[in-house]
Amino acid sequence: MLKFKIVFIFLLPLFVISQNKKWPAEKLKQDLTLFKEIREKTNSGLYKYRTKQQIDSIYSWAFSQIKEPKELIDFYKIILHITDFEGSLHNDTTLPDDFEKTYSSGNVFFPYPVKLIQNRLLLNFENPEIPLGSQIYSINGIETSKILSSLFKYYTTDGYNITGKSIGIGSSFAKYFQMEYGSQKSFLVEYSLPNQTQKLTKTISPVSNEIRKENFKNRFSLPIDSLQYNRAKNKYSFKIISKNTVLLSVHTFVIGRNAKDKQHIAYKKYLDSCFQYLSKHSEIQNLIVDVRNNGGGTDPNDIVTFSYLTQKAYRENASAYVNFQKIPFPNYFVYEETNIKKQREERKDFEDELKEEFPKFENGKYFQDEKFNPLLQPDQNRFKGQIYMLISPRIASAGSLFASLVAGNTNAIVIGEETMGGYYEHNGHTPIEYELPNTKIKTQFSIVNLEQDVPKKTNQIFGRGIIPDHEILQTFEDFMKNRDTQLEYTLKQIEHK
């Protein structure tokens, strides 16, 4: 993996675009044409899950949508359809900050957090208007199923995965709804009370972005899902559950920037002490590895953790490649530096890194040198008992790479819900960003196409996340009691065994 990382800090244009302004179709077509060319040149995962014919088809649709002038928000939604269709959780497309602030100012947001439980949209906030746990059927006459499908494009996942979109819905439902359907003067909510089927209606008032955020911080499910949306203060922990079972929780791999970082060194020492303890206590035969909140991070945290769970030599990935060694369309590239001279130096450093790590050109691709993907050995204190791994839709990037290695190359029994990160492969490691010249919409994606070092499994479908051996979903009753459904199920399995 490249040690060099691009940090995107840039100056925004000193103007505010009216949310009612319509852009000339010709300007929008220019941006869309450049957007397509950039992704064809730079995005090594463009045809990972879609054929060239399918990609060409969605662009034909996109161009057909801009025959007339359009507002910026409507053009943005077209771009979102494309980036979501590609199928990479590292795709991120954003509006100019000034526009978004203006577009979303005032009391325009749905006031209460929601959560998807067993495909039902539930109110996730104690309030005096609509009781906690009520099921929402429609908002302002729009059925929930239609709302959800229209919001999926705002939160990208790997391949054809849908479960991971629940993370975006849970954290940003009000924001997505406002962007999709515009500012609302009020919300007519059709709902039913908990454990009832009779439909009721209630009109509630919108709130500001500040109140929306505050309500989300105080959502009812905070004790269970708090780590899904916030960087964990305690990034990892080791807990003795019983005389024969322990729980290792790794909530993130954002533990230092590289192998020499003090945070990573401390993490490695912590793992050493944990697994030395296990090797000395042979009566402990069950290890629960909880990575349900792990949205990724940096190397080598994921690979080091795996070294304590595997019994055989392994690699981080089976293969990796990029599409270029020299940055295409440099005039639209978003640099960390603002000084022209320093931008040239930054670009040269980045391209030198690419040439070193991906030197071999074959069939239009630059493949990774093996020294960046060496054969690694299990740790001497590796665990030799039964592993149980808890997974969820939150798992992504380095988190899903780790979970894939565990699911494919150990005796782990996998429990929970499908991950948003792919089992077989993904695009990751090195993000880059471009800014479209007319609309100033920014698009970010990762350029390294990775095939993970995992075997084919009958329950693993290409284009999907890691499929659990035991699919265990939180029930409505467990939601209302803030009960950890997956962990309780796992402990019962161990007890019965």
How would you class 493 by CB atoms within 10 Å of its CB: exposed for 0-12, middle for 13-18, buried for 19 or more? middle
CA 32, 443, 170, 405 torsion: positive or negative? positive
Q: Residue count of the chain, please give it.
A: 497
Contacts of 10 (CB under 8 A, 6+ apart): 334, 335, 338, 435
Cα separations in angstroms, 445 against 77, 90, 448, 449: 17, 5, 10, 11
CB crowding 421-448: b at 16 or more within 10 Å, else e: bbbbbbbbbbbbbbbbebbbbbbbbbbb
CA separation for the pair 277, 130 (Å, rounded) = 50
Evaluate the CA torsion angle 21, 23, 24, 25 in order and state its sign. Answer: negative
Burial of 52 (0-12, 13-18, 19+ CB in 10 A): exposed
Per-residue pLDDT, 454: 97
Of 261, 295, 271, the closest CA to residue 401 belongs to 295
Query: Within 10 Å of residue 73's Cβ, how many Cβ atoms?
Result: 15
Instruction: Per residue of the chain (497 residues), give pLDDT as tens.
Output: 333 333 333 333 333 344 568 999 999 999 999 999 999 999 999 999 999 999 999 999 999 999 999 999 999 999 999 999 999 999 999 999 889 888 888 999 999 999 999 999 999 999 999 999 999 999 999 999 999 999 999 999 999 999 999 999 999 999 999 999 999 999 999 999 999 999 999 999 999 999 999 999 999 999 988 777 776 678 999 999 999 999 999 999 999 999 999 999 999 999 999 999 999 999 999 999 999 999 999 999 999 999 999 999 999 999 999 999 999 999 999 999 999 999 999 999 999 999 999 999 999 999 999 999 999 999 999 999 999 999 999 999 999 999 999 999 999 999 999 999 999 999 999 999 999 999 999 999 999 999 999 999 999 999 999 999 999 999 999 999 999 999 999 999 999 87
The per-residue pLDDT for 219 is 97
Helix 165-181 vs helix 209-217: crossing angle, to nearest 10 = 160
Q: How far apart are CA 312 and CA 321, in angstroms?
A: 25
Check residue 466 and give its pLDDT. 98
Beta bridge partners, 297, equal: 253
CA distance 6 to 480: 43
Upstream peptide bond of 455 is cis (omega within 30 degrees of 0): no
Tokens representing residue 306 in the block: 């795996």
Three-class SS string for 379-429? CCCCCCCEEEEEECCCCCCHHHHHHHHHHHHCCCEEEECCCCCECCEEEEE
End-to-end CA distance of the chain: 41
Q: 135 forms bridges with which residues in the sheet?
A: 122, 192
**pLDDT in the model for residue 15:** 35
pLDDT digits (tens, 9 = 90+) for 263-289: 999 999 999 999 999 999 999 999 999
The β-bridge relationship of strands 470-471 and 413-416 is parallel
The Cα 467–Cα 413 span in angstroms is 11
Contact predicate 397/297, CB 8 Å: yes
